[in-house]
């Protein structure tokens, strides 16, 4: 990989292979007044803002592998640089899984926690924050802190795991994570139906949520810019006989056009954009998902853009994508309209990734409640601004 983060070059790259070595690197950076950004698989380095300054990149590739797998307790401790797929491969012989999806192949454990990334199955199993039960973090001053599961010493006053999950590397360098595991399902089945618009999609989603089928995921995919058809897909998992019965019940529930398959539909769990495009995350109350889809369709037509939507109708977390060559002024208008729609649904709209010209025009984070508190937490953890300065909301 190149010695740069989001277009900002670094003078050096460090590749520590243990928590102790990470602590030495971070301590040295702090003492020398160097700005440091952590990089794992590099799959999300274009997310968030470019660092305001950058002297050193800390690669986590040397922090790889399982530290411990307590199969009887359904717990695993994993080093931060371990690719998520490698974790799943290591757990599979025991019939267990870390119930996280991988929208971006090559994602590491540390990076997934740092951006709090979750996929379709968050509906049943929860988010990264829900599955993370312990964490080892190197603070900005080089001190090692451990909290949660298998804890020796905690950090008084803070839930460290929940703080660092989604903090984009601005509060500490994650070196190890302890996770709650789940059994691997013996069978799975995807049941899909195409519907003509957001209202019909809302009725299909409500029917699934009201039935006794306990889906692991309930996804919606806008194939053409908020217009028909939309595809609603439910995933059911479990023992073969139970999965077959629940899938059959779903087909009856969703009507004659519903189909069932052992394989996921195209695009399942993937973001609706390509590298170099504009990618957004939209959240909404469950009851407002149809409204959000309708608003997205209106916005796409108003600005004459091919806006793709995909995400979890079962949790109210959707993703939207635009071509990267869309005029920055048009993108700003789209984002403004989508933020109005998400606010009406008690949610938010964040631009996860965008080309530099669009980043310069659009506030990628938008209004964030609790920003003053977040600044105070950053001041407590990293008063000198050593870690990923300016990457997070409000220039944190």
Q: Residue 353: pLDDT above 70? A: yes
Separation of alpha carbons 358 and 323, rounded Å: 11
CATH of domain 271-381: 3.30.70.1130
User: Which pair of tokens denotes residue 286?
Assistant: 């469950």
Given this chain, do its domains 1-184 and 271-381 carry the same CATH topology? no
Q: Encode 292-329 in three state secondary structure.
A: HHHHHHHHHHHHCCCCEEEEECCCCEEEEEECCCCCHH
Provide the 10 A C-beta neighbour count for residue 153.
9
* C-alpha span between 323 and 329 (Å, rounded): 13
Question: Does the domain spanning 1-184 belong to CATH 3.40.50.300?
Answer: no
Average pLDDT in the 138-151 region?
A: 86
pTM value surpassing 0.75: yes
Question: How many Cβ atoms are within 10 Å of 28's Cβ, its own excluded?
Answer: 14
For residue 369, what pLDDT is reported?
Answer: 86
Average pLDDT, the chain: 93
pLDDT surpassing 80 at residue 256 = yes
Find the angle CA(361)-CA(332)-CA(328) to the nearest 5 degrees: 60
At 155 the pLDDT is 45
Work out whether the CA dihedral 387, 392, 395, 396 comes out positive or negative: negative
Q: Is the pLDDT of residue 149 over 90?
A: no
Residue 223: its pLDDT value, please? Answer: 64
DSSP assignment letter at 33: T
Q: What is the largest CA-CA distance in the chain?
A: 67
Query: Structural domain boundaries of the chain?
Result: 1-184, 185-269, 271-381
Least confident of 4-13, 43-52, 152-161, 251-260: 152-161
Give the rounded distance of the alpha carbon of 387 from its chain centre. Answer: 20
Query: What fold characterizes domain 185-269?
Result: Alpha-Beta Plaits (3.30.70)
The pLDDT, as a whole number, for residue 297 is: 92
């Amino acid at each position: 990989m190149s010695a740069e983060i989001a277009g900002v070059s670094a003078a050096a790259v460090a590749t520590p292979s243990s928590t102790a070595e990470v602590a030495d690197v971070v301590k040295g950076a702090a003492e020398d007044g160097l700005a440091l950004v952590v990089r794992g698989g590099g799959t999300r380095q274009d997310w968030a803002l470019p660092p305001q300054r950058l002297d050193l990149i800390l690669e986590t590739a040397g922090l790889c592998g399982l530290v411990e797998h307590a199969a009887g307790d359904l717990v695993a401790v994993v080093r931060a640089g371990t690719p998520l797929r490698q974790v799943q491969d290591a757990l599979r012989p025991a019939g267990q899984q870390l119930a996280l999806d991988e929208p971006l192949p090559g994602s590491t454990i540390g990076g997934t926690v740092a951006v709090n990334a979750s996929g379709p199955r968050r509906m049943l199993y929860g988010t990264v924050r829900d599955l993370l039960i312990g964490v080892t973090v190197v603070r900005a001053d080089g001190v090692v802190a451990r909290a949660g599961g298998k804890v020796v010493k905690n950090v008084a006053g803070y839930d460290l795991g929940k703080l660092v999950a989604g903090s984009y590397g601005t509060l500490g360098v994650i070196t190890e994570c302890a996770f709650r595991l789940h059994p691997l399902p013996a069978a799975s089945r995807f049941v899909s139906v195409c519907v003509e618009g957001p209202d019909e999609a809302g009725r299909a989603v409500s029917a699934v949520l009201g039935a006794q089928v306990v889906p692991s995921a309930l996804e919606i995919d806008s194939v053409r810019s908020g217009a028909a058809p939309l595809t609603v897909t439910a995933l059911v998992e479990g023992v073969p006989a139970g999965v077959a019965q629940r899938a059959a019940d779903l087909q009856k529930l969703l009507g004659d056009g519903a189909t069932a398959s052992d394989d996921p539909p195209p695009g399942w769990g993937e973001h609706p954009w390509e590298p170099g495009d504009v990618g957004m995350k939209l959240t909404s109350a469950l009851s407002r998902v149809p409204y959000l889809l309708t608003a997205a369709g209106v916005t796409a037509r108003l600005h004459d853009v091919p806006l793709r939507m995909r995400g979890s109708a079962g949790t109210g977390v959707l993703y939207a994508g635009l071509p990267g060559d869309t005029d920055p002024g048009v993108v700003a208008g789209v984002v403004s309209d989508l933020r109005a729609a998400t606010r009406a649904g008690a949610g938010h709209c964040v631009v996860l990734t965008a080309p530099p010209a669009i980043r310069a025009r659009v506030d990628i984070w938008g209004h964030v409640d609790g920003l003053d508190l977040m600044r105070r937490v950053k001041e407590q953890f990293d008063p000198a601004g050593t870690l990923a300065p300016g990457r997070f909301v409000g220039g944190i």
